[in-house]
Amino acid sequence: MDQVKFYLDEKDMPKKWYNIAADLPTPMLPPLTPDGQIVRPEMLEAVFPKNLIEQEMSTKRWIDIPEEVRQIFYRWRPSPLRRAVYLEKFLNTPAKIFYKDESVSPAGSHKTNSSVPQAWYNKQFGIKRLTTETGAGQWGTALSFACHIIGLECKVFMVRVSFDQKPMRKTMMGLWGAECIASPSNETRAGRDILAEMPDTPGSLGIAISEAVEAAVTDKTGRTRYALGSVLNHVLLHQTIIGLEAQKQLKKAGIKKPDIVIGCAGGGSNFAGIAFPFTLDKINGAKIEIIPVESAGCPKMTKGLFAYDHGDVAGMTPLLPMHTLGSQFIPPAIHAGGLRYHGMAPLVSQAIVEGLMTPRAVDQLSSYEAAIIWARTEGFVIAPETSNAVACVIDEAKKAKREGKEKVILFNLSGHGLLDLAGYDKYLNGKLENSKVPHDEIARSLAKVQKTYAAASRKTGKW
Amino acid sequence: MDQVKFYLDEKDMPKKWYNIAADLPTPMLPPLTPDGQIVRPEMLEAVFPKNLIEQEMSTKRWIDIPEEVRQIFYRWRPSPLRRAVYLEKFLNTPAKIFYKDESVSPAGSHKTNSSVPQAWYNKQFGIKRLTTETGAGQWGTALSFACHIIGLECKVFMVRVSFDQKPMRKTMMGLWGAECIASPSNETRAGRDILAEMPDTPGSLGIAISEAVEAAVTDKTGRTRYALGSVLNHVLLHQTIIGLEAQKQLKKAGIKKPDIVIGCAGGGSNFAGIAFPFTLDKINGAKIEIIPVESAGCPKMTKGLFAYDHGDVAGMTPLLPMHTLGSQFIPPAIHAGGLRYHGMAPLVSQAIVEGLMTPRAVDQLSSYEAAIIWARTEGFVIAPETSNAVACVIDEAKKAKREGKEKVILFNLSGHGLLDLAGYDKYLNGKLENSKVPHDEIARSLAKVQKTYAAASRKTGKW
């Protein structure tokens, strides 16, 4: 029987992160203010510490991972590369399916790869407290863990629908001393405004971001900042440790390069983590198919616009160049809470525009079907977000069988689903549906984006 | 910084289990029928398949692990040996704390180490369906997984209090196609009798075992058998893969032998798994302190009798020589459901009598305090059962500090606590108490044991 698990020694863990901004064929479009001016670093200083703003704007190819951050990572990193031999056998496919297992972190997902350095850089800068949003709860849990280990306070605004679906997430954050409240809340102006208009809203990441940013910038001590779990350049940068480890481990497995790289994509960070190091290989000539997988319930990459839009509902963030369904769009209450975000990270969006990656959408029932196949072959319970990637992996493995090709498929298992069993329960009892794609709402929301975009563009005569 | 994780290649996974029955200084006392006769193998054939009965009675030192079982194990075995450097630093102890991480299995605990071979031997013997009991849900989940992978049906009787505390365990078993119902139930005579007498009982492992055995032996097809998750010799045998791996991994970490070996002990299987291979070293002269840790809420080793007693409430199992609080004893509803069993495995009990191990009891609040320290240093959420072991580890590490000795402590992290967060929630909100040790009930229950014991002994003039 072929080897299943490929480990890497702690001493071989990458010492640098990879910054794809250095290598994209055309330079990145800058973030803009609502009146179309390029955002200057100092404009972000109420929100982020200076050292992270520098990282956000950096075009340096390799950026050092601080030694203290590495020592915290050793709890779970390097994470295992595994081969899904049991799934391969079940599918009777000639494809070889490898995956990075990011579920092994303390918080149960890849999110700790960025929460730890973000907390660390904030601490270095003298910050005492972080605020953040969380969808499914993975990011909030990861930041709670990191803040406890590094010595910061932490406050998490959790999207209402996930807060209700996954009550144990709050307990887990509390284990690390963090405070978690449902969003929209009455604690912020943004939250109160939304509640006045839509008292029964399931909430959205866009709303929770508005609340968390507001809570940070209105703190009178000046020692509170905001942390984001995806979308931004520095977050994607931190996640590249996944793909960099995978490259070393594939070598150990005797694989020169994967043919296909797959990751689910909510804001883009777990996908970028596995994909960017291989995107560099692709830019350098390697033939690799790279697939970000979104939920059909929130299809920004396959049905959205590439345009300047806000990262949040209240318009507190700069305008970012991205695939978006409109910052006002509130996605249906799919169980993959981490995929319920209206936009896609600018770095991923631009790589799509450049033709380096080809997005795909998966509907909710197909994702659960894939998750069940996974649990019944590989044996592990995966997060509903991850299930979307697995559905795509299974499709590609079947295609390889039809074509009779021994393709190497690599994907990122972003997290376990042990706190998401309520969704499995509904699926197993036939109570789950495909969320209907809300075409009309998307169209209305995109019309608004175009107006914002046109306004910014009129003011500057550019973009 | 010292290395944290010590892996073993799949090819180096042990090929044989270790059977301590071959090495205990005095031979094991045999199981007895209620009228004091030695149980003959054929008397067990309605309950277990012949091949497992042979294993149960074997005194062969090394027993082969079937190749198919090994191939299923590769999903998670060899499991990592880890060093708790972050806890060591927090405690500022000279002790080196190592642990086997059995939480990495599909079901989240060590239980899969026995559920897979048990299902496999049953399948070999032509069995179609297994029944079992489960306390906290770990064993039921593990057997559900194994039955699905190997192709058997599975029915689980889950102790009522855990069924209510941990509803997602049922979902997880359902993922693998198993049926899970609360015990006592109306499906068996044993269950109906108990419900008639105590309609509000929280249930117990002893009751659930009676129900599961009854459901197996009354099945008309003759193709149903019963599987037990702990206590019996063959279950403990299967778990020794943990300690055998640990011995190889400690060598990799440059450690000749541990000074102290610790495991929590409900029925004794996870403890035996880590401890028995080192007990052999101790029998051969090595100086090792070996500590099985029970819950003060169910203190069979520290407050019970060593006597012949039934393994279940209804008296359907043979009399086993063990430390017991009496098979009629219903332990208080502590969260560590896996430790709520009235008896201790005969092999462990005899090793205690021989002076090879020294049990210790931990109260509920101390176990949660230890679990919180663990989560805030090492970063992982552990099962309430495991927390009892960790409380003992912390005590020993503090003692090593007081003595200024660089001791090596090894323990078994039997499972994660991601499906046990409700207990953490109660603890963090000050709603958890130490369960009062029910001295009077224990005394009453033990008086009954002595009667049974005396009756059996009168009839045979022995034991």
**Region of A231 on the Ramachandran plot (φ > 0 left; ψ -120 to 50 alpha; else beta):** left
Give the confidence band of A136 by pLDDT, cuts at 50, 70, 90. Answer: confident
A461 pLDDT above the threshold of 60: no
The reported pLDDT for the residue numbered B457 is: 63
Question: Nearest CA to B7 among A97, A100, A80?
Answer: A80
The reported pLDDT for the residue numbered B166 is: 86
Q: Are A378 and B104 inside 8 Å of each other by CB?
A: no
Question: Nearest CA to B228 among B114, B107, B70, B58?
Answer: B114
Give the confidence band of B462 by pLDDT, cuts at 50, 70, 90. Answer: low
Give the confidence band of A456 by pLDDT, cuts at 50, 70, 90. Answer: low
Encode pLDDT of B414-441 as tens digits. 999 999 999 999 999 999 988 777 788 8
Encode pLDDT of B24-39 as tens digits. 998 899 999 988 899 9
The reported pLDDT for the residue numbered A439 is: 85
Let me know if residue B119 belongs to a domain.
Answer: no
Encode pLDDT of B350-373 as tens digits. 999 999 999 999 999 999 999 999
**Average of per-residue pLDDT values in chain A:** 95
Residues sharing a CB contact under 8 Å with residue A425, sequence separation 6 or more, in sequence order = B168, B171, B174
In the chain, the amino acid numbered A63 is I
A225 pLDDT above the threshold of 70: yes
Let me know if residue B160 belongs to a domain.
Answer: no
The reported pLDDT for the residue numbered A229 is: 96
**Average of per-residue pLDDT values in chain B:** 95
A454 pLDDT above the threshold of 70: yes
Between residues B47 and B454, the one the model is more confident about: B47
**Quick one: CA torsion of A113, A116, A118, A119, rounded to 10 degrees?**
160
Question: A356 touching B, CB under 8 A?
Answer: no
Let me know if residue B92 belongs to a domain.
Answer: yes
Give the confidence band of A243 by pLDDT, cuts at 50, 70, 90. Answer: very high
Length of chain A measured in residues: 463
Task: Produce one character per residue of B288-323: b if its CB has 16 or more CB atoms within 10 Å, e if not.
Answer: bebbbbbbbbbbbbebbbbbbbbbbbbbbbbbbbbb
**Closest chain B C-alpha to A139 CA, distance in angstroms:** 15
Residues sharing a CB contact under 8 Å with residue A151, sequence separation 6 or more, in sequence order = A123
Q: Are B419 and A422 inside 8 Å of each other by CB?
A: no
Mean pLDDT in residue range B289-306: 96
In the chain, the amino acid numbered B221 is T
**What is the model's pTM?**
0.96
Question: Nearest CA to B239 among B26, B48, B63, B441?
Answer: B63
DSSP string across B284-351: TT---EEEEEEETTS-HHHHSEEEEEESSSSS-SPEEEEEES-TT------S-GGG--SB--HHHHHH
Question: B119 touching A, CB under 8 A?
Answer: no
Task: Give the lowest-confidence range in A219-223, A333-337, B57-61, B429-433.
Answer: A333-337
Question: A376 touching B, CB under 8 A?
Answer: yes
* Residue of B104, B172, B378 with shortest CB distance to A381: B172
CB of A152 closer than 8 Å to CB of A129: yes
A345 pLDDT above the threshold of 80: yes
Question: Nearest CA to B335 among B379, B366, B378, B380?
Answer: B366
CB of B339 closer than 8 Å to CB of B298: yes
Mean pLDDT in residue range B247-256: 98
Encode pLDDT of A106-127 as tens digits. 999 999 999 999 999 999 999 9
Q: Which alpha helices (DSSP H) does A138-229 contain, by range?
A: 138-150, 160-165, 167-175, 189-197, 205-217
Candidates A75, A150, A368, partner chain B, best to mutate (most B CBs within 10 A):
A75
Helix H, strand E, coil C: the string for A344-371 is CCHHHHHHHHCCCCCCEEECHHHHHHHH
B68 pLDDT above the threshold of 70: yes
CB of B206 closer than 8 Å to CB of B237: no
A379 pLDDT above the threshold of 80: yes
Give the confidence band of A458 by pLDDT, cuts at 50, 70, 90. Answer: low
Task: Give the lowest-confidence range in A171-185, A263-277, A415-429, B423-437.
Answer: B423-437
Residues of A in contact with B416 (CB under 8 A): 418
Residues of A in contact with B380 (CB under 8 A): 75, 106
* Residue of A149, A380, A425 with shortest CB distance to B106: A380
Let me know if residue A359 belongs to a domain.
Answer: yes
A462 pLDDT above the threshold of 60: no
DSSP string across B265-286: -SSSHHHHHHHHHHHHHHHTT-
Q: Counting runs of H as helices and runs of E as strands, what totals does chain B give?
A: 18, 15
Question: What DSSP state is assigned to residue A44?
Answer: G
Mean pLDDT in residue range B70-95: 98
Encode pLDDT of B177-201 as tens digits. 999 999 999 999 999 999 999 999 9
Task: Give the lowest-confidence range in A33-42, A223-232, B400-409.
Answer: A33-42
Question: A296 touching B, CB under 8 A?
Answer: no
CB of A236 closer than 8 Å to CB of A273: yes
**Distance between CA atoms of residues A211 and B221, nearest Å:** 62
Q: Are A75 and B168 inside 8 Å of each other by CB?
A: no
Let me know if residue B184 belongs to a domain.
Answer: no
Let me know if residue B438 belongs to a domain.
Answer: yes
Mean pLDDT in residue range A214-238: 96
Between residues B103 and A135, the one the model is more confident about: B103
**Distance between CA atoms of residues A106 and A334, nearest Å:** 25
Task: Tally the domains of chain A.
Answer: 1
Encode pLDDT of B107-130 as tens digits. 999 999 999 999 999 999 999 999
Encode pLDDT of B308-326 as tens digits. 999 988 888 899 999 999 9
The reported pLDDT for the residue numbered B459 is: 64
Give the confidence band of A330 by pLDDT, cuts at 50, 70, 90. Answer: confident
Residue A90, domain extent:
5-12+64-108+234-449
Candidates B380, B413, B416, B427, partner chain A, best to mutate (most A CBs within 10 A):
B380
Give the confidence band of A54 by pLDDT, cuts at 50, 70, 90. Answer: very high
CATH code assigned at B74 = 3.40.50.1100
CB of A458 closer than 8 Å to CB of A32: no
Encode pLDDT of A7-20 as tens digits. 999 999 999 999 99
Task: Give the lowest-confidence range in A181-190, A285-294, B165-174.
Answer: B165-174
User: In degrees rounded to 5, what are phi and psi of residue A259?
Assistant: -85, -30
The reported pLDDT for the residue numbered A450 is: 83
Let me know if residue B70 belongs to a domain.
Answer: yes
Let me know if residue B321 belongs to a domain.
Answer: yes
Burial class (CB in 10 A: 0-12, 13-18, 19+), B46: middle
Q: Are A5 and B1 inside 8 Å of each other by CB?
A: no
Q: Are A176 and B425 inside 8 Å of each other by CB?
A: no
**Distance between CA atoms of residues B11 and A451, nearest Å:** 62
Residues of B in contact with A86 (CB under 8 A): 75
Encode pLDDT of B207-231 as tens digits. 999 999 999 999 999 999 999 999 9
The reported pLDDT for the residue numbered A240 is: 98
A453 pLDDT above the threshold of 90: no
Mean pLDDT in residue range B393-421: 97
